Amino acid sequence: MPKRRPSFEIAGTVVAPGTRATVSIPLSVLSDHTPMNLPVQIIHGSREGPVAFVSAAIHGDEIIGVEIIRRLSHMLAKRRLAGTLMLVPIVNTIGFISHSRYLPDRRDLNRSFPGSASGSLASQLAHRFLNDVVARCEFGVDLHSAAIHRVNLPQIRVNPADDRSMDLARVFGAPIIVKSPLRDGSLRSAAHEKGVPVLVYEAGEGLRFDEISIRMGVKGVLRVLQYSGMTASRAIKSSAIESPVALKSAWLRAPAGGLLRALRKTGDTVAKGEVVGLVSDPFGETETEVAATSGGLIIGRTNLPVVNQGDALFHIATVRAGWPRRSGWRVCGYRHPDQRLRLSGRRTCPAPMCRDSPARCSQSAVSARAGLLPAVHGGVGVPLLNEPVSPLCSGIMRRAVPRYCPGGARFRQLTIEGFTTCYPHSGSRPWQMTQRCHRVDTTPTSHNRLQNRANVMKRMTVPHGIFQ
């Protein structure tokens, strides 16, 4: 008869094998005599396996991880788990309640590790969480988002010197892996000292839910658990695209104060010197271009249009040429960055917008900026354009109104009449459409501005048989 697995004990609570329990670890008493606890859900599997943790809301305003853990808890309830999983949805309870990044003493919990049993409130919380939860695990995933007024592309931040962390980061399957050195006082640094590798998942915006980021987080954690032997191999599919590793990343800052008009969003690729935004004064008399200092992928940006000189605007990561490596998959660029298309044949895009469109999304192009990504069309491997373009989709758009060119050409607009196909340029090559992106002079001093806009409305034709 096989030996029964021992129970798991934490904070005086005993969790039997094959069961789960929610434990409140006492921390302190607030000024109004309200007790403050650290809630932890223990899923103690009936089979032997590793001990792991998933935590969120170390910063109280980064709530996206709370929803990820809620979904994980519901999904894992129906599966047999090997090992023990500790789910900590809200580490910074006070900050979570007050919608604040910090604790009442304005201390950053993620700069207070390893903490002390007799220190400040942040230090005591860090000490208790580290020793009661983190130190008992073999690995962990810490869920974060951008701060308020910023948004992050889903990404994994990892210690490049830790091979175990890099392996788990690749398994997670995030759109990009960012090498992030350990910082004193952080959870990753304190866990590293105890031999526990920790992945940091960054996605979305503070105090907001983002469905794409949430789903990527849930799937990524499940892949890590599967890779570690804690869940069945059929629990989640592995990522179809190998996550690229950023060679470096840097923030692009505002050259002047004023009102920001962003021309690029997270997930877009940019070339060195490309204009990604415009900063103007409230009267529109002066306008300063924000040009990318290096080519790469935008992994974060500000959502606040009111900026001061030196404010961080765009976070750009340089990616190794040739990404993604599996050429059989590409990402649908028409507002569906999380959907993948297989290039063999004409498989349609699974995104709802494309399914509802009269013409399917048969284009799976990726940007050719700075030689970072190969451009392909319809699976035939034909170059799209010689100049850099943003990800786009050749699906047909319905509304016959002026639209900004999705090809990324600055100050270009196009009109889509009826079911005319949108395409960034015309040309003699058969794989390019004859729909033009007319250049529109948008400088404040232009007296031909209205006439240029009127020219955009002229009807253009598309040759038959392009999408047959």
DSSP string, 45-105: -SEEEEEEEEEE-SSTT--HHHHHHHHHHHHHTTS--EEEEEEES-S-HHHHHTT-SS-TT
pLDDT of 142 reads: 98
pLDDT of 308 reads: 97
pLDDT of 76 reads: 87
Strands 13-15 and 8-10: antiparallel
Residue 348 has pLDDT above 70, yes or no: no
CA nearest 91: which of 71, 118, 73, 69?
A: 69
Average pLDDT over residues 134-154: 97
Residue 356 has pLDDT above 70, yes or no: no
pLDDT of 363 reads: 35
Tell me the average pLDDT of the chain: 76
Contacts of 436 (CB under 8 A, 6+ apart): 414, 425, 426, 460
Q: Are 368 and 385 in contact (CB under 8 A)?
A: yes
Residue 340 has pLDDT above 70, yes or no: no
- N-terminal to C-terminal alpha carbon distance within the chain: 65
More confident residue, 336 or 47: 47
Q: What is the DSSP letter of 381?
A: -
Query: Is the whole model's pTM more than 0.75, yes or no?
Result: no
More confident residue, 208 or 329: 208
**Going by CATH, does the domain composed of 249-319 fall within 2.40.160.40?**
no
Tell me the β-bridge partners of 290. 277
Q: How many CB atoms lie within 10 A of CB 173?
A: 23
Q: In this predicted model, what pLDDT tens digit does every residue of 165-186 receive, in sequence order?
A: 999 999 999 999 999 999 999 9
Residue 14 has pLDDT above 60, yes or no: yes
Contacts of 324 (CB under 8 A, 6+ apart): 241, 242, 244, 330, 331, 366, 373
Q: In this predicted model, what pLDDT tens digit does every residue of 407-421 receive, in sequence order?
A: 444 333 333 333 333
Q: In this predicted model, what pLDDT tens digit does every residue of 20-69 receive, in sequence order?
A: 999 999 998 888 898 999 999 999 999 999 999 999 999 999 999 999 99
pLDDT confidence tier of residue 77, bands split at 50, 70 and 90? low
pLDDT of 324 reads: 54
Average pLDDT over residues 212-217: 96
Q: Which two tokens stand for residue 437?
A: 């992106």
CATH architecture of 8-227: 3-Layer(aba) Sandwich (3.40)
pLDDT of 219 reads: 95
pLDDT of 17 reads: 93
Tell me the β-bridge partners of 205. 151
What are residue 41's phi and psi, to 5 degrees? Answer: -100, 125
Q: How much of the chain exceeds pLDDT 90, in percent?
A: 60
pLDDT confidence tier of residue 2, bands split at 50, 70 and 90? low
Residue 433 has pLDDT above 70, yes or no: no
More confident residue, 379 or 99: 99
pLDDT of 240 reads: 74
Average pLDDT over residues 310-339: 62
How far apart are alpha carbons 301 and 299 in whole angstroms?
Answer: 7
Query: How many angstroms from the chain centroid is the CA of residue 368?
Result: 21
Q: In this predicted model, what pLDDT tens digit does every residue of 218-277 receive, in sequence order?
A: 999 999 999 999 998 776 888 877 899 999 999 999 999 999 999 999 999 999 999 999
How far apart are alpha carbons 140 and 122 in whole angstroms?
Answer: 21
Residue 119 has pLDDT above 60, yes or no: yes
Domain locations along the chain: 8-227, 249-319, 324-468
Average pLDDT over residues 342-349: 35
Which residue reads 């223990």 in tokens? 42
More confident residue, 213 or 360: 213
More confident residue, 458 or 84: 84
